[in-house]
Amino acid sequence: MDVSILIVSYNTCRLTLDCLDSVFASKTGYQYEVIVIDNQSSDDSVQAIGDKYPEITLITNDENTGFATANNQGMEAAQGRYILLLNSDTVIQDDTLQTMIEFMDNNENVGASGCKVILPDGSLDKACKRGFPTPSASFYYAFGFSKFFPDHPKFNQYQLGHLDADEAYEVDCLVGAFMLVRRETIDQIGGLDETFFMYGEDIDWCYRMKQAGWGIYYYPQTCIVHLKGGSARLRPKKVIYEFHRAMWVFYRKHYSKQYNLFTSTAVYLGIGVKLGAAMIKRQVMLARPKPKLEPARTKPASSEVKA
């Protein structure tokens, strides 16, 4: 088996089926298996996925275990020499598997690789090629320096906006929506850290790969489409909380001993303020009245009637 494709499903029946459709439409000479891990979906995901694709391995959980734990379950069942983390809200291209596995086969020092990730509007999902979120990188990103100075490496340490998205190069970390990982790398460093629930585990995994001496590459010779929600989408409180908790967990795990008390205090305070602001914004959006739809006009207003 060349690659084991892991897809975590949680109430995303239609999206997951579309993702599976794109996988099985792949044009590749490599052998692959698909493992779907369902985190107690309340929709008809399990039934629909099992009916349409009985050949896949379908793992059903009695609770929502989170992204990291579910993928680790998939890895235990996987037989491939590569493991592909693939979000349920993605669509791959015909050549994606072929292109990315060929790249990994030709670069044995690479522990993980990712392709170009495109959003539905055609723009780049900037999370597909990133630097590590050091205090300075996070500061420049949070306060908009990267937007004001898009071509300056110092102010673009996190999203690497100064680098050409159509060129291949080594990066610090990829996005868990599409990450192709070598089996030997996983055997050496272990699976995803289950302390993370649904954010940050991809950055942590890449950090550990780098520490172990593996290369991580962004390879944009193929792409996928990431159909994630827009910025106006109202996120549940738990999602907002887990997003910010992941920042705290990552910093405490990897950076707290590298920086002095002042820096660490500023980081933790910044995370807390950002969490509070996100929660307030959510409440404001909830309280905002929904726009009323005006009835369709069947006749022009008198002022619009021309003599």
**CA 195 – CA 234 distance, rounded (Å):** 25
**Model confidence band, residue 300 (pLDDT cutoffs 50, 70, 90):** very low
Tens digits of residue pLDDT in 42-90: 999 999 999 999 999 999 999 999 999 999 999 999 999 999 999 999 9
In angstroms, rounded to a whole number, what is the distance separating the alpha carbons of residues 7 and 16?
8
Cα 206 from Cα 131, distance rounded (Å): 10
Query: Against a cut of 0.85, is the pTM above it?
Result: yes
Query: In the predicted model, what is the mean pLDDT of residues 267-292?
Result: 83
Both structure tokens of 43: 């929709």
Q: Superfamily assignment of 3-129+165-226 in CATH?
A: Spore Coat Polysaccharide Biosynthesis Protein SpsA; Chain A (3.90.550.10)
With 90 as the cut, is the pLDDT of residue 168 above it?
Answer: yes
291 pLDDT tier (thresholds 50, 70, 90): low
The segment with the largest mean pLDDT, out of 23-37, 142-156, 251-265, 292-306, is 23-37
Range with lowest mean pLDDT among 82-91, 92-101, 218-227, 233-242? 233-242
Rounded Cα distance, 115 and 179, in Å: 8
Is the pLDDT assigned to residue 301 strictly greater than 70? no
Which tens digit of pLDDT belongs to each residue from 117-140? Answer: 999 999 999 999 999 999 999 888
d(CA 33, CA 303): 66
DSSP character at residue 302: G
Handedness of CA 57, 62, 67, 70 (dihedral sign): negative
Q: Give the β-pairing of 110-118 and 215-226.
A: parallel
Query: Per-residue pLDDT averaged across 6-18, rounded?
Result: 95
Percent of the chain scoring above 70 in pLDDT: 92
Q: What is the pLDDT of residues 194-217, one digit of tens each?
A: 999 989 999 999 999 999 999 999
Instruction: Look at 112-121, 124-133, 278-287 and tell me which has the smallest mean pLDDT.
Output: 278-287
Q: Measured in Å, how far apart are the chain's first and last C-alpha atoms?
A: 77
Range name among 12-26, 100-114, 226-240 with the lowest pLDDT average: 226-240
User: What integer pLDDT is reported at residue 204 of this predicted model?
Assistant: 96
Q: How far is 61 from 47, CA to CA, in rounded Å?
A: 14
